[in-house]
Amino acid sequence: MSVTAAPGFVAAGCHVGVKRKRRDLAILATDDGRPVAAAGVFTTNKFVAPPVVHSRGLLEANGGRASAVVVNSGNANAGTGDRGLADAKAMGKMTARAIGCDPRDVLVCSTGVIGLPLPMEKILPGIDRLATHLSRGGHGDAASAILTTDHVPKEGVVHGAGYTLGGMAKGCGMIAPNMATMLAFLTTDAEVDSPSLQSILREAAAETFNTLNVDGATSTNDTVFLLANGRAGKPRLDDFAAAVRELCMDLTLQMARDAEGVTKVVRLTVSGAASDAEARACAHAIAENNLVKCSWFGADPYWGRILAAAGSAGVAFEADRSFVAYGGIAVAKGGVEVAHDGAAVLAHMKQGEVEIECGLGAGSASARVIGIDLGPGYIKENIVTS
């Protein structure tokens, strides 16, 4: 059931013609149209898209609540200026009218190509029609309608102590730290006040979505929403936070495995850093380094490139105390290669998901990121899209 797994939520998705053939419009709503507690985390990109401006403003103004989320794919409604903002508002207004709620309680998202106006003549009547199809069984259509270059829908459910948490997500390129071209929508029947919901979502996003680094690019549209209708009563907040984190990580890994051109998902740990911030910065620098990513594509345990990336990341680094390990097998220590089981390392590197650790020898802080390799598939998917 994913995003409608918690009682009280309905969804629908259909094709209205933003894209040529595939589904491109989704609505997620409460089953009675009444607003529930809502939290949002948005892109940090300063070239921010109008729907993000609109939705962020709504949540700030209404103190964190929502009745529905309307999403189109195929067009990001970014780089569209005042007209784009008016279009985002019109999408919310039409959704509110169709399901009978306050337009100030309808969040709006768009994802797709930057720089073209939305085809409102297709979207507005589409919203009107789609609202009549909202149901608990509509989650699959909704999950497919929010996709862009994704190959598969991303859905997940976590069952907490007395409550349910479900979600769907999209994203497979332009994904870097800080929410890049990714959307995720989570719902729960747990009862959590808006401020707590917001801080739990922000923290979970930092530990999951923001550790995924597909290409170092940060999108203009990224958004994560969490809606809580309270029907199941109050959960223990630490238990609930863990459930949110678990679902977000599930969706994060689904995005990584579906990344543009991916052949390998890398769980990279940087340890021995002077601070948490330096550990994170270094981990992202390694995960974004094209030479490192090409060697991952080639299943090549080229530790020299890992250390070269770490050494130029602008963080404290002591080559004499550094190390690099693949699948738990140390290949280099103190900046030089050490005797190791080369066949075992190679076998590990040939898997679809690999573990790499780089020790900086400068302290005791560590960070983990999820990276992917760089192969011809990524380029093929990104040459011309406009």
Name the residues annotated as catalytic: 181
Q: Which one of 79, 103, 230, 363 is in contact with its own copies (CB under 8 A)?
A: 79
Cβ 108 vs Cβ 124: under 8 Å: no
- The CA-atom distances, in angstroms, between 202 and each of 39, 43, 55, 107, 245 are 9, 12, 16, 17, 10
State whether the Cα torsion 47-50-52-56 is positive or negative: positive
Asked if 330 touches its own copies (CB under 8 A), the answer is no
Of 188 and 218, which CB lies nearer to its own copies in the complex structure?
Answer: 218
Cβ 324 vs Cβ 356: under 8 Å: yes
Of 182 and 241, which CB lies nearer to its own copies in the complex structure?
Answer: 182
β-pairing verdict for 353-359 and 265-273: parallel
Give the per-residue contact string, 250-289, with its own copies (x = CB under 8 A; - = no).
--------------------------------------xx
Which tokens go with 339?
């005797």
Asked if 128 touches its own copies (CB under 8 A), the answer is no
Give the per-residue contact string, 194-233, with its own copies (x = CB under 8 A; - = no).
---------------------xxxxxx-------------
Asked if 297 touches its own copies (CB under 8 A), the answer is yes
Asked if 363 touches its own copies (CB under 8 A), the answer is no
Stretch of residues binding its own copies (CB under 8 A), selected from 25-33, 223-231, 265-273, 316-324: 316-324
β-pair partners for 268: 356, 369
| 367 closest CA partner among 379, 357, 375, 377 | 357
Amino acid, single-letter form, for residue 308:
A
Asked if 346 touches its own copies (CB under 8 A), the answer is no
Asked if 11 touches its own copies (CB under 8 A), the answer is no
- Between CA 185 and CA 156 the distance in angstroms is 10
SS3 label, residue 48: coil
| 99 closest CA partner among 60, 61, 73, 138 | 138
Q: Which one of 335, 359, 365, 367 is in contact with its own copies (CB under 8 A)?
A: 335
State whether the Cα torsion 253-170-280-302 is positive or negative: positive
3-state DSSP percent of the chain in helix, strand and coil, to 5: 40, 25, 35
How many residues touch its own copies under the rule CB under 8 A: the total is 65
Asked if 25 touches its own copies (CB under 8 A), the answer is no
Of 45 and 144, which CB lies nearer to its own copies in the complex structure?
Answer: 45
Asked if 327 touches its own copies (CB under 8 A), the answer is no
Stretch of residues binding its own copies (CB under 8 A), selected from 5-13, 71-79, 162-170, 262-270: 71-79
Residues that bind its own copies in the complex, under the rule CB under 8 A? 44-48, 76, 78-81, 83, 113-116, 173-174, 176, 178, 180, 215-220, 288-291, 294-295, 297-298, 300-305, 307-312, 317, 319, 322, 332, 334-337, 374-376, 378-380, 382-386
